Structure 1
């Protein structure tokens, strides 16, 4: 079955191209559980988090847990550290039996998870060296009051004698949606996640004129069988260095995105890009930078796919990132020249064990300018 037409994708896979799923994965994770960060100033991190729309689930002098309104685990864990950095994701497995199976396959161990929420954990590293935790049995937080979508007059009347006045206030985060990372070892990383965690690809993108060399970005979802999952829980793209790109958090609707953005603007935070609607995933998006320049996204109305949908294939371009909205910014693309970026490019080109070579660099530059 295919859902890839028009703007969404050029077509599906050609004969002999990369498969969108592993034929025999070790386990199939159910979702992202949370993301882990380090920051030197937890007070500043908590202030931004509340302005962005999180609630504090747990706080000590060394650790901050942030949650959304939907019942489940915390969305984000921030620990005090010497500098601001992304540590890695935690995925939720169906149960401890899956953790044991994963541990046997990888040579890891199933350990009791210490700290708030308990449960069990297997600690791994992907081929780029990023820590990846897989957890099960973690205590679920109860639901909080949610921000109701505004009633809209579309054809049938739902709102009479009542003007629309969405409050200019923090959007209430409902849940963690996805995380995006960059890696110079794209093919190995993609194989690792598809095999070990049972993730499946919703869309592949490739550099201009380089489809024959395979994809350079994948939007990857959880395989829940006939139960729909987010279009992507994890997205990764080829680049000169392993790094966090952004993470995305669901809010109620377009007005929550927009009014929450106006609140953030009033508070002096920097908008990286938005508001618009994506092509792959279809989300209404708005991207912001926290005080440490970490990029985070409000989103609403994203696509949901079950496992019957095969991956689409499309050429990557800067102009192809949105159906509507302002032109993509250099800030969002991470294309601002810097000594750090130049060092990463030179280092990646010198390493013949990764996927980043001169032709890939040329393709990446074409994307940024397209």
Structure 2
């Protein structure tokens, strides 16, 4: 990235990011938001993999949350959304519950082979539904991931139609009422995953260089702009084709941790009525309903029976590859434009976090230092 000239800074000619996605743009000396010559450029996130001991319970929640079962064996559950594409989630039977890793989709099989060669890996044929070719990798945080191509798409299923609304003085609906059914919000597709890393900078560099991902927004701890970002919202580079504001988001923290994953639904009514359905079935809402700042999506966060955080979202930002990154302080109050105050459950303030902090500070071989801890505390209180 070429840093903005002084004449391009907000105090000179107005904020070039005003009304777009963040409070200010980059200044001279900020880290690049993209690699100059990445190995490949992935097109999207394909699916996420988990392990859980009870596939029946996992499938019940999945259906209540809005997924459809694409395939199931004695030991594996494949879940999909309604849009044409690959599965969204794969759950394998395991002794405990854990997030395994993400799978990204490359443009073609040649890209998979190119990435395998660059990383001293080996491309192989996938033997699960959809086929295709993949390569298994590990990022600098230790998170296993896969990049695939040539996977057969599942056909589209009936979609939940967005409601016709009377807004802005226009009458689009006359002599008809609104009665959205209280039913599961139908998942359309996987949108993004958020991961925590104690080696945030190394991991970010790796994803930019190897997968061609570019940063939409950088966040930094209050008072620590000079020490660089502590969170990045990262999108795919598909040229002039707009893509999700973030396909992967990464944040600096004491552990190597799955934070949440997000799944698109039709509109606000689908999201809200689906939330009422989940409440009636005694699932735990973590935080929502509200609208984010970075990404702008309307959100609603839930805990599945194993404690994993999952999000319904709608109306998210879509960027092409021309937009420069935004930079803004990372604050708890800055997580949403409107909605209820962020909860302790969403921030995951719990005893396990304390153990991770002690372990990271004691190890001393990562980016999570005492000063970063103070920044994190300042962020959570702001």
TM-score where L is the length of structure 2: 0.95
- Rounded to whole Å, the distance in 1 between the matches of 2:259 and 2:335 is 15
What's 2:360 paired with?
Answer: 348
* From 27, 36, 40, the counterpart of 2:49: 36
In 2, are the aligned partners of 1:3 and 1:309 still within 8 Å (CA)?
A: no
Equivalent residue, structure 2, for 1:15: 28
SS at match of 1:276: strand
Q: Which residue among 35, 40, 43 is the counterpart of 1:27?
A: 40
Distance 1:321 1:7, change over 3 A: farther
Aligned partner of 1:228 in structure 2 is 242
CA contact (8 A) 1:229 1:306 kept: yes
Within 2, Cα distance between the matches of 1:197 and 1:3? 28
Matches within 5 A, 1:141-160: 141-154=154-167, 155-160=169-174
TM-aligned CA deviation for residue 156 of structure 1: 1.9
Which residue matches 1:199?
A: 213
Q: Determine helix, strand or coil for the equivalent of 1:326.
A: coil
| Number of the residue aligned with 1:114 | 127
**CA contact 1:335–1:368 (8 Å) conserved in 2:** no
C-alpha displacement at 1:104, in angstroms? 1.1
Q: How many residues align?
A: 368
Aligned to 2:75: 62
Measure the CA separation in 2 of the matches of 1:74 and 1:4: 35
- 1:190-237 residue CA offsets vs partner (Å, 9 max, x unmatched): 000000000000000000100000000000000000000000000010
Structure 1: how far apart are the matches of 2:48 and 2:16? Answer: 30
Does 2:374 correspond to 1:365?
A: no
The equivalent residue for 1:321 is 335
8 Å contact kept, 1:51–1:170: yes
Distance 2:148 2:266 in 1: 27
Deviation at residue 342 of structure 1 after TM alignment: 2.1
Deviation of residue 6 (structure 1)?
A: 5.8
For residues 163 and 267 of structure 1, do their structure 2 counterparts lie closer, same or farther at Cα, with a shift above 3 Å needed? same
- Give the C-alpha shift of residue 8 in structure 1: 3.9
1:353, CA displacement in angstroms? 2.4
The structural deviation recorded for 1:9 is: 2.2
Q: Verify the 8 A CA contact 2:193 2:260 in the aligned structure 1.
A: yes
Task: Report how far residue 100 of structure 1 moved.
Answer: 1.1
Q: How far did 1:369 drift?
A: 1.1
Q: Superposition RMSD on alpha carbons, in Å?
A: 1.2
1:38-53 equivalences under 5 Å are 38-53=51-66
Alignment of 1:158-173 (within 5 A): 158-173=172-187
Q: Distance in 1 between matches of 2:88 and 2:157?
A: 14
CA distance in 2, matches of 1:5, 1:352: 39
Q: What SS does structure 1 have at the residue aligned with 2:96?
A: coil
Report the counterpart of residue 292 of structure 1 in structure 2. 306
Structure 1 equivalent of residue 136 of structure 2: 123
SS in 1 for 2:42: coil
Give, in angstroms, the shift of residue 109 of structure 1: 0.6
Q: How does 1:168-179 map to 2 (within 5 A)?
A: 168-179=182-193
Contact 2:16–2:24 (CA under 8 A) maintained in structure 1: no
How far is 1:341 from its partner? 2.1
Structure 1 portions without partners, runs of 5+:
none
- TM-score, scaled relative to structure 1: 0.98
Number of the residue aligned with 1:274: 288
Q: CA deviation at 1:60?
A: 1.1
Higher deviation after alignment, 70-79 or 153-162: 153-162
